[in-house]
């Protein structure tokens, strides 16, 4: 999809569909001189008939509008003016793309006026349109009926008043890069585990790094053995697919500080649970157990193009958690790279085992700040549902900075506690640490505490994205399947590093 920005009068915008926003209350209509005033009567009639109320994401379409160059005029509900933000606009852009594609519309114009003709709103519109254009139908074979090609929107044009300032084109471009990188993450997560093995994930990272000019190093089993990564290697034992640790480096030409931000992503390409096997119902979804890896790689792709002022290194441990006669057993004791011993009480708590060694490796390689993303626990969905990323930290200042980045990127995040008391759940008689907490309490917090044992003392934030990285149902603005969550927050954090 091509993204364009134009300042021509709205009436002259050529598009298959030209859209403008309308709030729930009539006099809150965000209109300015360029609004298609010929259609005032049409909008008033829609409102009195009840066909259009201005509720969020509601649309009405008028064909062959008089006085406009566009083939269709679309009014889209913007909800309550007082509650309107970039979050709603991002979703409105996505809703336009998703509701109009496949209906003969290939080009869309969206009018942004007044306060909305600003960099942050243009960025959000660009992101929403590109994210809305993505479909999880890569492996469907009938292109006429269902494919993305047949349904896709060719161009999305943001129309702003002629007086708007020149930074809007840069905002549009930034939005495109970020959203295409979010879709890059979604493409990886969407791949089934027979296609996306750890080796294939490493190859995808290598290819992306070469295209974007990032340094890339992939550690294989031999090197990881030499480094003593017993915790990661234990998880890989059950699979014929070899494990890897992918390392990507972005280095700024003129660094603003000596800080080294590490992004760490869980890359379990399939999680059967191992010997502590998962129930078969829904197990197919465990191909998304590498969504943390996808988010980190997506963020690196965007950062390579947007060039933040600090060094960012990605660490992506990737394994397949399988059952076999070679698989790790409950009760096995492994020694992590840090020297700590771990009793593997449950082979399904494998994410923290691979992350432990990746965190140690990040620390040994000079990370000054670490943020990890992992589909770590089912319990995070019990605590927060599907709407918030669960966030944990050993450093409140870093988490505050991350939460600010997430808020500006439009990704909801909620902090969970990490009081010392929770460590009581991680007592172990046979090794330094068990890989699960005792009992069923606070499963996401005990998992975070386990990670913290390997992140300390470096300032660190852990994101549990198990309940937010996959959408069971599509929304009007985004398809079902991989969400690409955390990419935008990572990018915002690095770009606005202070």
Using Cβ positions, the residue closest to ligand BES within the complex turns out to be 378
- Candidates 430, 462, 466, 465; CA nearest to 449 is 462
Is 473 strand, coil or helix? coil
Pick one of 30, 77, 133, 443: the residue that binds ligand BES (CB under 6 A). 443
| Residue closer to Zn ion, measured from CB, 95 or 272 | 272
Please report whether residue 289 would count as binding ligand BES according to CB under 6 A.
yes
- Joined together, the tokens standing for residue 433 give 């640490």
Pick one of 75, 105, 172, 436: the residue that binds ligand BES (CB under 6 A). 436
74 forms bridges with which residues in the sheet? 19, 61
Is 107 strand, coil or helix? strand
Residue 445 C-beta: closest distance to ligand BES, Å: 11
Q: How many residues contact ligand BES, by CB under 6 A? A: 15
Residue 321 C-beta: closest distance to ligand BES, Å: 7
Please report whether residue 379 would count as binding ligand BES according to CB under 6 A.
yes
Which residues does 445 contact at the CB level (< 8 Å), separation at least 6? Answer: 392, 416, 417, 418, 422
Query: Is 352 annotated in the active site?
Result: yes
Which residues does 378 contact at the CB level (< 8 Å), separation at least 6? Answer: 443, 466
Looking at 11-19, 71-79, 176-184, 371-379, which segment touches ligand BES (CB under 6 A)? 371-379
Whether the bond into 430 is cis, omega within 30 of 0: no
Burial 267-280 (b: 16+ CB within 10 A, else e): bbbbbbbbbbebee
Report the half-sphere exposure of 380 (CA within 13 A, side-chain side): 30
Looking at 35-43, 348-356, 361-369, 476-484, which segment touches ligand BES (CB under 6 A)? 348-356
Residue 354 C-beta: closest distance to Zn ion, Å: 9
Is 169 strand, coil or helix? helix
Distance CA 252, CA 310 (A): 6
Pick one of 377, 468, 479, 483: the residue that binds ligand BES (CB under 6 A). 377
CA separation (Å) from 19 to 74, 76, 315, 430? Answer: 4, 7, 42, 65
Q: Are 251 and 300 in contact (CB under 8 A)?
A: no
The contact mask relative to Zn ion for 313-352 (x = CB under 5 A, - = no) is: -----------------------------------x-xx-
Please report whether residue 289 would count as binding Zn ion according to CB under 5 A.
yes
Report the half-sphere exposure of 267 (CA within 13 A, side-chain side): 35
Q: Are 11 and 69 in contact (CB under 8 A)?
A: yes
Please report whether residue 384 would count as binding ligand BES according to CB under 6 A.
no
Please report whether residue 344 would count as binding ligand BES according to CB under 6 A.
no
Distance CA 168, CA 443 (A): 45
| Residue closer to ligand BES, measured from CB, 486 or 495 | 486
What DSSP string runs through 297-352? HHHHHHHHHH--SSEEEEEEEEEEE--STTS--TTEEEE-TTS-EEEES-TT--HH
| Residue closer to ligand BES, measured from CB, 175 or 443 | 443
| Residue closer to ligand BES, measured from CB, 313 or 377 | 377
* Residue 127 binding result from ligand BES, Zn ion, none, given CB thresholds of 5 to 8 Å by partner type: none
Residue 241 C-beta: closest distance to ligand BES, Å: 17
Is 38 strand, coil or helix? helix
Residues 62-101 touching ligand BES, rule: CB under 6 A, are none
Sign of torsion over alpha carbons 353, 357, 360, 361: negative
User: Out of 6, 278, 412, 475, which one is annotated catalytic?
Assistant: 278
Pick one of 135, 187, 350, 453: the residue that binds ligand BES (CB under 6 A). 350
Q: How many residues does the chain have?
A: 498
Residue 369 C-beta: closest distance to Zn ion, Å: 25
Query: Is 207 annotated in the active site?
Result: no
Pick one of 86, 239, 375, 393: the residue that binds ligand BES (CB under 6 A). 375
Pick one of 54, 294, 351, 482: the residue that binds ligand BES (CB under 6 A). 351
* Residue 377 binding result from Zn ion, ligand BES, none, given CB thresholds of 5 to 8 Å by partner type: ligand BES
The contact mask relative to ligand BES for 460-489 (x = CB under 6 A, - = no) is: ------x-----------------------
Looking at 81-89, 118-126, 377-385, 486-494, which segment touches ligand BES (CB under 6 A)? 377-385
Residue 268 C-beta: closest distance to ligand BES, Å: 6
| Residue closer to Zn ion, measured from CB, 131 or 201 | 201
Question: What positions carry a catalytic annotation?
Answer: 278, 352
Would you tell me which residues interact with Zn ion (CB under 5 A)? 268, 271, 289, 348, 350-351
């Amino acid at each position: 999809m091509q993204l364009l920005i134009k300042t021509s009068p709205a009436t002259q915008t050529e598009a298959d569909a030209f859209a403008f926003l309308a709030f729930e209350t009539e006099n809150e209509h965000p209109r300015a001189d360029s609004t298609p005033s010929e259609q005032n009567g049409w909008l008033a009639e829609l409102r009195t008939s009840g066909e259009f109320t201005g509720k969020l994401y509601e649309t009405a379409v008028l064909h062959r509008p008089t006085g406009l160059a566009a083939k269709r005029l679309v009014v889209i509900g913007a909800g309550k003016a007082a509650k309107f933000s970039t979050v709603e606009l991002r979703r409105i852009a996505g809703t336009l793309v998703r509701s109009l594609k496949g209906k003969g519309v290939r080009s869309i114009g969206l009018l942004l006026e007044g306060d909305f003709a600003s960099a942050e709103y243009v960025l959000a519109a660009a992101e929403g349109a590109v994210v809305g254009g993505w479909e999880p139908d890569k492996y469907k074979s009938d292109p006429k009926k269902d494919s993305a090609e047949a349904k896709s929107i060719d161009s999305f044009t943001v129309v702003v008043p002629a007086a708007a300032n020149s930074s809007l084109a840069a905002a549009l471009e930034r939005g495109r890069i970020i959203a295409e990188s979010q879709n890059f993450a979604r493409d990886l997560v969407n791949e089934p585990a027979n296609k996306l093995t750890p080796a294939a994930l490493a190859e995808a990272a290598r290819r992306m790094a070469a295209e974007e000019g990032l340094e890339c190093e992939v550690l294989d089993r031999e090197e990881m053995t030499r480094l003593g990564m017993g915790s990661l290697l234990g998880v890989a034992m059950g699979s014929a697919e070899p494990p890897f640790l992918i390392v990507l480096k972005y280095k700024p030409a003129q660094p603003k500080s000596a800080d080294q931000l590490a992004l760490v992503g869980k890359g379990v390409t399939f999680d059967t649970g191992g010997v502590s096997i998962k129930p078969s119902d829904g197990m197919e979804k465990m191909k998304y157990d590498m969504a943390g890896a996808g988010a980190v790689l997506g963020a690196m792709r965007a950062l390579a193009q947007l060039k933040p002022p600090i060094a960012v290194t990605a660490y992506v441990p990737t394994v397949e958690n399988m059952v076999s006669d070679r698989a790790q057993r409950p009760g096995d004791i492994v020694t992590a790279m840090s020297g700590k011993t771990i009793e593997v009480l449950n082979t399904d708590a494998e994410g923290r085992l691979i992350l432990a060694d990746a965190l140690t490796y990040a620390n040994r390689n000079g990370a000054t700040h670490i943020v990890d993303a992992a589909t770590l626990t089912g319990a995070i969905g019990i605590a927060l549902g599907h709407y918030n990323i669960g966030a944990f930290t050993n450093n409140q200042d870093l988490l505050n900075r991350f939460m600010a980045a997430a808020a500006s990127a439009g990704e909801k995040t909620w902090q969970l506690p990490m009081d010392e008391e929770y460590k009581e759940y991680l007592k172990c008689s046979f090794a330094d640490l068990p890989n699960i907490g005792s009992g069923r309490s606070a499963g996401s917090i005990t998992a975070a505490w386990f990670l913290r044992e390997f992140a300390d003392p470096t300032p660190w934030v852990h994101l549990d994205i198990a309940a937010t990285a996959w959408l069971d149902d599509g929304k009007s603005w985004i398809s079902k399947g991989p969400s690409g969550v955390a990419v935008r927050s990572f990018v915002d954090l690095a770009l606005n590093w202070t």
